[in-house]
Copies of this chain bind each other. A is one copy, B any other.
Amino acid sequence: MARPKAIAVVSGGLDSVTLAHLLHAQGYQLHLLSFDYGQRHRKELFFAERCAQRLEAAFSLLDLRQLGQHFKGSALTDESVAVPDGHYAAANMAITVVPNRNAIMLAIAYGIAVAEEAEVVAFAAHAGDHFIYPDCRPAFIEAFGAMERLAVEGHGHPRLHLEAPFAHLKKEQIVSLGAALGVPFVETWSCYKGGEKHCGTCGTCNERKEAFQLAGIPDPTDYLQ
């Protein structure tokens, strides 16, 4: 019998790479989707592709840069806006929101899932995202799944559904899980600044450092500071 298929949105960050390893361990045949929306930290995409190679998964890099041009004013896509330092959960991180990013990426993932008769669309929203990204909250995840059941009814695999297995996990729990699954964390990227090394001072770098500390797992990341 053919293995069931899963479409996973993978940025190349710690969370989504761990998600891909989790799905792989669960026996899914994987198709990883990454999105280039003009993000400053597009370096992460390299690690998404590496993850696909490692797991012998299909990989598609979808080019939404034209769309990114419409999202002026976000520090993630607008070169004229600086990435703020500080804590990930702080209000100043709101500037890093790309409007409606998850709905856009998940809708595209569902289109591909229907075309490829996949059973699962998965993404790696986690509990720490809820402070600043409304489209990472459990209520959004549930509403999105409900919308898609209606949108694709009668098409694709009858079991097609949305999974967000980290929706209620803190990042340190994802680090613990990733360590148990043998995820090579050094082949994941978090820093929003997208330089040669992780800066060590932006919101996501702080969140990454803290997660390894709280999980009691050695952090293999080479930070600038």
Contacts and interface: CB of A to CB of B under 8 A. Distances in A.
A146 B147 contact: yes
28 contacts: A62-B66, A62-B67, A63-B66, A70-B112, A71-B111, A98-B111, A99-B110, A99-B112, A99-B152, A99-B156, A100-B107, A100-B111, A100-B114, A103-B107, A103-B111, A103-B147, A104-B111, A106-B107, A134-B150, A134-B154, A134-B155, A135-B150, A137-B150, A139-B150, A140-B150, A140-B151, A143-B147, A143-B150
Copies in the complex: 2
A134 to B, nearest CB: 4
A134 B114 CA distance: 13
A158 interface: no
Nearest to A100: B111
A220 interface: no
Given A67-B108, A104-B107, A107-B103, A115 B151 contact: no
A213 interface: no
A103 B99 contact: no
A184 interface: no
In the A-B complex, the 4 residue pairs with the smallest Cβ-Cβ separation, listed nearest first, are A99-B114, A100-B111, A143-B147, A103-B107
A166 to B, nearest CB: 18
Interface string A12-53: 000000000000000000000000000000000000000000
Contacts of A66: 62-63
Interface in A120-173: 134-135, 137, 139-140, 143-144, 146-148, 150-156
Interface of A: 60, 62-63, 66-67, 70-73, 97-104, 106-108, 110-112, 114-116, 134-135, 137, 139-140, 143-144, 146-148, 150-156
Nearest to A156: B99
A95 to B, nearest CB: 11
Interface centre among A100, A114, A144, A153 (most CB of B within 10 A): A100
Contacts of A60: 70
A139 B107 CA distance: 17
Nearest to A99: B114
